[in-house]
Structure 1
Amino acid sequence: MKITAVEAHVCNARMRNWVFVRVVTDEQGLHGWGEATLEWHTRAVVGAVEDMADLIVGEDPTRIEHLWQMMFRQHFWHGNGIVRGTAMSGVDIALWDILGKVHGVPCHKLWGGPVRDYVRLYGHLGGGKMEDFYESDEPQRFGELAAGMVERGFTAFKSMAVPPTMPLEGLAPVRHAERCVAAMRDAVGDEIDIMVDCHARPSPRMGHLFASALEQFDLFWFEEPCWPERPDDIAAIQRSVRTPIATGERLVGAAPFNELLTKGACSVIQPDITHCGGLTEVRRIAALAEIHRVALAPHNPQGPVSTAASIELGLATPSYIICEAVTSDVPWRDEVATTSHPIDPVGMLARATDKPGLGIEIDLDVVAKHPFEPELPQQVFYADGSVGDW
């Protein structure tokens, strides 16, 4: 059996373009689906996927580790960059889908079988626009969104209640974040798990202030309190509060996760399967998490293939605790892919399936109805006009 083609299919989904990767073989009807979605870099990723095809077309698709090494090493610039890492990830995910289909089993059985009965999912409330962050009704809006998430069946959700801040500001943004999180906690009570994502917007010092102020709300985790390039500062914040600190969604490869874990920088690591090196590399990262007894909760705001792969990983990974799930970004989300895993509507629990591979198939006719469009610009400027982090 040989790989005959590696294809990238782009589907615009409002905030981002999903990039679905299909690896085709010379066995009739046998192909695998991956995902390489990277917002604001869609055209670059598609080009990188085409470059990867030159390396692996004609090879045996079941030699996954061998092909991973080829994609990573067989060019002067290793696959550590976000564009190459994302392209590699998409191809790698598709190869695992093929291997499961070859053996007639879901991917989680290739990795030793299920270690749990279901994977818990959490929702995302999103965050306000820069100009809305300090509106007087913003806390009320967060409370209403939180209550709505619980009504949809989620027992956990994440929000971006921390506003963008300059390297040092006064108490206004800190107090605003407190009011927003208080409104969410009042709306859903203590039985629901709340996460707050800073999106790495604050400086290390502002991250400390936000973490300290929000500790009173017993968050499930406090995410990316400062730039991920500052692992020592993230570690200092983790040591300063009892709240679990989460980070890792922007890291590529196992090495930076090893640094985070060695420094005791966080309680939750969040590799993104579509960026970090695919299922092959994320399983190495998961092994590191197990060694350090740290939880794993993958970043997953992308399309349905990323979600299917994340759930399959969770079914076979001991350190895995919960999976991000976007369910209402576009109204036709369920039309673009077959259902990969049955989900209990109460509690939002994804169950295992006997479907081989990732258990998902993409409808290219639906994809064709939503062709590439430039992503919506997400820009942040501070009050004085200087550039902030989105």
Structure 2
Amino acid sequence: MKITSISTVVVNAIHRNWVFVKVQTDQPGLHGWGEATLEWKTRAVLGAVEDLAQFVIGADPRRIEHIFSKMTKFSFWPLGSIGMTAVSAIDQALWDIKAKDLGVPAWQLLGGQVREKVRVYTHMRRARIGAQVGTADIGAFCDAVQETVEMGYNAVKLGFVPYSGYEAPLPDLLHVEKLAQAVRERVGPDVAIMTDFHGRPASPEVAKAYIDVIAPISPLFVEEPIQPGNAIAMADLARRVNCPLATGERLFTPREFAELAEHRAVAHIQPDLSHCGGLTGGRKIAAIAEAGQMGIAPHNPMGPVAGAVALHFDAATPNFVIQEEAVGLVPWFDEIFSHPMRLVQGYWEIPDGLGFGVEINEAAAARHPFKPEIVPALEALLPDGTIANW
């Protein structure tokens, strides 16, 4: 069997362009899908996929580790977020092809099923464009959270913390404290709450100030309390707060996750399987986390291929905790994609279809072509005009 071509399909989803990668083989009807969505870097990722094609076309798609090595080692330069996103999507498509060729769900190739269902969480109102509520009106914010839970979720991730620099003003701290307590009172103790700082605090001290006022509501974790990449600072922060921490969506290599494990810097890691090397990279990272006694809560606010890949990974990963999902992000989600994500009482069911069980209606996808995305990060300014971390 040989790979004959690699093509891409771009679908505009307002805040991001979903980038899907299709790997075609010389076997009639046998192809695989991967997802290379990287917010606001669409054209760069498309170029990286094209650059990597020379290492892949003509190879046997079932030699996944071999092809992964060709893409990463022959590239010579460190691939970074753009290159690793392209690698990840191609890698995912190879797993899809191999599972289809063997006539099994992809999770069978990852060691087999280790759980009966996969716990998931979503964002406020499933992160639907135009449906978000700011933090200023606490009552309206809590109404939206309650509405989200009533969609069938028992876990939700929220943004409590404002754009921050090297200071946590007392009025902001008091408001975040009141907001967090109001959300907990509204949803009760049976709903898991997570909060994403997005690395907004510019120092561990600012992060600690906000974590201290949120910790009493017992969040499942606080995500990216500081910018990623400094495992020592994260570990120091973890030892000074009474709350589990998580990070990893902006880390790409096993070495970076090994540093977190070495310092036991967080309770949970959050690799994104569309950025960290696909399933080939994700499996190595999960093993590192398990050795470091850390849970794994994969990042995924993207399209259906990334969701399906994560579902199969979660079904076969022993130290999995909870999965981020974005099914229904746009109203025409199910018009373009057939996918295996089925929500039942806060969990996804384990799929039994071949490969990832996802297919894209390319004709329908063409109705939503590439457009320059809306970039909400442009709003990230402090009161004096300083650019903040989004």
Q: 1:29 to 1:142 in 2, by over 3 A?
A: same
> Structure 1's 108 and 176: CA in aligned 2 closer, same or farther, altered over 3 A?
same
Partner of 2:214: 214
| CA–CA separation in structure 2 for the residues paired with 1:76 and 1:294 | 31
- What is the TM-score with the length of structure 2 in the denominator? 0.95
Contact 1:211–1:237 at 8 Å: present in 2 too? no
Contact 2:234 2:265 in 1 (8 A): yes
TM-score relative to the length of structure 1: 0.95
CA contact (8 A) 2:229 2:251 kept: no
1:163 has 2:196 as partner: no
Rate the CA distance shift 1:264–1:90 in 2: closer, same or farther, 3 A: same
Structure 1 stretches of 4+ moved >4 Å: 126-129
1:273-292 maps to which residues of 2 (within 5 A)? 273-292=273-292
Aligned to 1:328: 328
Structure 1 residues 128 and 55 mapped into 2: Cα distance closer, same or farther (>3 Å)? closer
- Could you tell me which residue of structure 1 aligns to residue 254 of structure 2? 254
What per-residue deviation string (whole Å, max 9, x for no partner) do you get for residues 239-263 of structure 1? 1123110111100111110001111
Contact 1:307-1:325 within 8 A present in 2 as well:
yes
Contact 2:129 2:330 in 1 (8 A): no
| Number of the residue aligned with 1:144 | 143
Provide the rounded CA distance (Å) in 2 between the counterparts of 1:256 and 1:34.
23
Query: Counterpart of 2:194?
Result: 195
Q: Distance in 2 between matches of 1:309 and 1:83?
A: 19
Shift of 1:293: 1.5
Cα distance in 1 for residues equivalent to 2:317 and 2:333: 27
Residue aligning to 2:270: 270
CA distance in 2, matches of 1:261, 1:321: 16
Q: CA deviation at 1:212?
A: 1.3
Contact preservation (8 Å) 1:341, 1:359: no
Q: How large is the Cα RMSD of the aligned pairs?
A: 1.6
Flag the 1:330–1:127 CA change in 2: closer, same or farther, 3 A: closer
Task: Give CA deviations for 1:161-191 in whole Å, capped at 9, x if unaligned.
Answer: 1111121232122112112211211110111
- Alpha-carbon distance in 2 for matches of 1:193, 1:320: 16
1:1-390 pair list within 5 angstroms: 1-79=1-79, 81-125=80-124, 135=136, 137=137, 139-203=138-202, 204-344=204-344, 347-378=345-376, 379=378, 380-390=380-390
CA contact (8 A) 1:18 1:302 kept: yes
CA deviation string 1:252-289 (max 9, x = no partner): 11111000111111001000000111110000000011
> Following the alignment from structure 1 to structure 2, what is the Cα–Cα distance between the partners of residues 64 and 127?
36
The CA distance in 2 between the partners of 1:271 and 1:5, in whole Å, is: 28
- Code of the residue aligned with 2:374 in structure 1: it is L
Report the residue type matching 2:201 in the other structure. P
Measured after TM superposition, the shift of residue 128 of structure 1 is 12
- 1:341-380: per-residue Cα shift (whole Å, max 9, x none)? 4331xx2311122211111111101110000011102211
Deviation at 1:222? Answer: 0.8
Q: What is the CA distance between 1:134 and its match in structure 2?
A: 6.7
For residue 269 of structure 1, what is the amino acid of its counterpart? I
One-letter identity of the residue aligned with 1:87: A
Which consecutive residues of structure 1, in runs of 5 or more, have no partner in the other structure?
none
**Do the aligned partners of 2:166 and 2:206 also contact (CA within 8 Å) in 1?**
yes
Question: Cα distance, 1:385 vs. partner?
Answer: 0.7
Contact 2:229/2:256 (8 A) holds in 1: no
Query: Aligned to 1:293, what secondary structure does the other structure show?
Result: coil
Q: Percent identity?
A: 42
